[in-house]
């Protein structure tokens, strides 16, 4: 639908302007459309540019399918050949891609959780607990001689 609106609003209006202004002598482009469409160079340019774009598109499709096939290319093979081997290969590829995506999602969630944990302020309870842990650690003796006087440690 967008393509149709684009053609109607831009291209067709421009072509109408060219033809209308070509018939009115006060415009600088008087008789341009008649000369343009009677010249074989115009048609040659259209054919060559369209052909070059077509060849470039085919080259891109060949490179995508042969060098680095993605999800769509694998699925096309399954649909085209309808073979069990291709289907299982496709499912393995799909599972591998899903695992990669899940792993990336897990890593993102861990990073988000760590940043959120660092960013949030500590509650009074957490502050009291950390101070109590520090106090307990400071009261524990470094050596065992107080608890085991006969030990040679």
- Could you list the mean pLDDT of each consecutive 10-residue stretch along the chain, which spans 153 residues? 78 84 83 85 93 93 79 71 62 74 79 68 73 70 58 53
For residues 74-112, one letter each, b for 16 or more C-beta atoms within 10 angstroms of the residue's C-beta and e for the rest, the string is bbebbeeeeeeebbeebeebeeeeeeeeeeeeeeeeeee
pLDDT at 148: 57
Query: Do the beta carbons of residue 74 and residue 89 sit within 8 Å?
Result: yes
- Quote the pTM value: 0.39
Query: Do the beta carbons of residue 55 and residue 40 sit within 8 Å?
Result: no
């Amino acid at each position: 639908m967008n393509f149709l609106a684009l053609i109607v609003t831009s291209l067709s209006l421009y072509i109408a302007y060219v033809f209308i202004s070509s018939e009115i002598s006060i415009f600088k482009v008087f008789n341009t459309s008649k000369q343009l469409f009677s010249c074989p160079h115009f048609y040659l340019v259209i054919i060559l540019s369209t052909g070059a774009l077509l060849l470039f598109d085919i080259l891109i499709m060949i490179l995508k399918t042969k060098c680095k096939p993605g999800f769509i290319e694998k699925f096309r093979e399954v649909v085209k050949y309808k073979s069990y081997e291709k289907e299982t290969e496709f499912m393995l590829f799909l599972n591998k891609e899903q695992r990669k995506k899940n792993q990336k999602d897990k890593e993102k969630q861990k990073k988000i959780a760590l940043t959120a944990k660092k960013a949030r302020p500590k509650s009074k309870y957490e502050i009291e607990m950390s101070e109590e842990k520090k106090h307990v650690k400071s009261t524990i003796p470094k050596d065992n001689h107080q608890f085991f006087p006969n030990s040679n440690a």
